[in-house]
């Protein structure tokens, strides 16, 4: 059991470092039939007992329509542990992949499309169950492989995050095994004799990921210290030193959030605030632009290269509080949830590093229901600012 205890300790560390699980969470676990997901289920089932966090687990497996799929043995396994395995009919996935393979003239089924469709399918199940999170069994070796795939094939220094909020699906992806390496997972699966399903992916051992895995194993063999240093690299933010460090974050193909570091970006932020607060709301210029600008970090959200929205924030380490304000969206970009995107971005950026943490927004009173929909609660007395009635809003992250 020492391997299992070691794995649980790594899950606890990831939970504490990346703020993955809270009491009240309803978490769908994506079950694939492989070693990673069955170990994740067994670990979270155990972690629930001793973490003093009251959360609910829903194991879900997708029938993607590939030949050989049979989850009956797994259904019995989960029943023994007093869980109902949800088998979701997603057989359209294999049909669509086959069509795309022929249409694009590919030698094998397109993995990227399959991945997106699986995420969409499991999000749909999560929404039906009223779950707020989906847990995937990606581990640190997966993260390193993805990093090298993006560098080699995509020209990007990027990998997946320990947690990620999907705005449209209103689901947070979490990866509790993010600090666990594959060898430890293999040991735990064998120690606990956890059952596996036959691997039925038609692309077995034929993917770019398999190639990258072989490449990394060759590096580890020649340079034994590389594995430890690569793992450290992913969490060593103090030594992260690329050209655009802390500069820009791509939200999707159309939207990018840029940290204000140049006069041009600062002017864009001020322009947005001028159009919204001064021109639309008749706030005096001297009330809008104050002497505290230098104390805040400002962000600008661009849509297809055009300035669209802005926010500023600051973090008080002693009080463990983050103050968000000057949230503005240009009129022509309203209805796209850009304000929510910026608020959520700041929340995730700070809550991953600091906890417990209280977020504070001094918001205009007519936005009461809007801020409540984002999880904020009105606190304290109302007040007037620039001639407009405001409320204090707070959200606590424990």
Task: Return the HEC string of the chain.
Answer: CHHHHHHHHHHHHHHHHHCCCCCCCEEEEEECCCHHHHHHHHHHHHHHHHCCCCCEEEEEEEECCCCCCCCHHHHHHHHHCCCCCEEEECCHHHHHHHHHHHHHCCCCCCHHHHHHHHHHHHHHHHHHHCCCEEECCCCHHHHHHHHHHHHHHHCCCCCCCCEEEECCCCEEEECCCCCCCHHHHHHHHHHCCCCCCCCCCCCCCCCHHHHHHHHHHHHHHHCCCHHHHHHHHHHCHHHCCCCCCCCEEECCCCEEEEECCCHHHHHHHHHHHHHHHHHHCCCCHHHHCCCCHHHCEEEEEEECCEEEEEEEEEEECCCCEEEEEEEEECHHHCCCCHHHHHHHHHHHHHHCCCCCEEEEEEEEHHHHHHHHHCCCEEEEEEEEECCEEEEEEEEEEC
pLDDT computed for residue 244 by the predictor = 52
Q: Which structural domains are found in the chain, ordered by start?
A: 2-209 (3.40.50.620), 248-397 (3.40.630.30)
Q: Report yes or no: 174 and 21 within 8 Å, Cβ to Cβ.
A: yes
Tens-level pLDDT at each residue, the chain (398 residues): 899 999 999 999 999 888 899 899 999 999 998 999 999 999 999 999 988 899 999 999 998 888 888 888 899 999 999 999 999 988 888 788 888 877 787 777 777 788 888 888 999 999 999 999 999 999 999 999 999 998 898 787 788 888 887 767 778 899 999 999 999 999 999 999 999 998 777 776 667 888 999 999 999 999 999 999 999 988 876 666 665 555 556 677 788 888 888 888 899 999 999 999 999 999 988 888 877 888 899 999 999 889 999 999 999 988 889 999 999 999 999 999 999 999 999 998 888 778 789 999 999 999 999 999 999 999 999 999 988 999 999 999 87
Strand-by-strand arrangement of the 26-31 sheet: 86-89, 56-63, 26-31, 133-135, 171-174, 163-166
The token duo for 201 is: 């992916």
Question: pTM surpassing 0.75?
Answer: no
pLDDT computed for residue 303 by the predictor = 92
């Amino acid at each position: 059991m020492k391997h299992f205890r070691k794995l649980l300790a790594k899950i606890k560390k990831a939970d504490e470092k990346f703020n993955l699980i809270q009491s009240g969470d309803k978490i769908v676990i994506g079950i694939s039939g492989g070693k990673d997901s069955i170990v994740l289920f067994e670990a979270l089932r155990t972690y629930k007992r001793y973490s003093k966090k009251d959360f609910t687990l829903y194991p879900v497996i997708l029938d993607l329509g590939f030949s050989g799929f049979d989850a009956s043995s797994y259904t019995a396994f989960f029943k023994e542990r007093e869980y109902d395995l949800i088998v979701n009919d997603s057989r359209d996935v294999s049909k669509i992949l086959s069509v795309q393979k022929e249409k694009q003239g590919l030698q094998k089924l397109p993995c990227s499309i399959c991945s997106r469709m699986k995420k969409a399918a499991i999000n749909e199940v999560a929404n039906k169950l009223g779950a707020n999170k989906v847990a995937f069994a990606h581990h640190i070796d997966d993260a390193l492989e993805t990093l090298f795939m993006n560098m080699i094939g995509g020209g990007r220094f990027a990998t997946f995050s320990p947690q990620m909020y999907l705005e449209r699906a209103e689901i947070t992806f979490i990866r509790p095994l993010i600090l666990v390496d594959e060898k430890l997972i293999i040991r735990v699966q064998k120690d606990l004799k956890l059952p596996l399903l036959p691997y039925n992916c038609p692309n077995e051992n034929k993917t770019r990921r398999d190639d990258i895995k072989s490449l990394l194993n060759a590096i580890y063999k020649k340079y034994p210290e590389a594995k430890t240093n690569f793992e450290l690299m992913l969490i060593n933010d103090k030594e992260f030193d690329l050209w655009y460090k802390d500069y820009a974050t791509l939200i999707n193909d159309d939207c990018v959030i840029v940290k204000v570091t140049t006069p041009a970006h600062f002017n864009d932020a001020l322009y947005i605030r001028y159009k919204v607060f001064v021109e639309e709301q008749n706030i005096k210029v001297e009330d809008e632009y104050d002497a505290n600008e230098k104390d805040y970090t400002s962000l600008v959200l661009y849509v297809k290269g055009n300035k669209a929205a802005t926010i500023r924030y600051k973090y008080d380490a002693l009080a463990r509080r983050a103050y968000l304000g000057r949230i503005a969206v240009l009129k022509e970009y309203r209805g796209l949830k850009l304000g929510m995107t910026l608020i959520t971005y700041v929340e995730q950026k700070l809550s991953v590093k600091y906890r417990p943490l209280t977020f504070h927004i001094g918001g205009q009173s007519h936005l009461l229901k809007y801020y409540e929909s984002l999880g904020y609660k009105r606190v304290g007395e109302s007040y007037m600012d620039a001639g407009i009635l405001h409320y204090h809003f707070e959200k606590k992250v424990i």
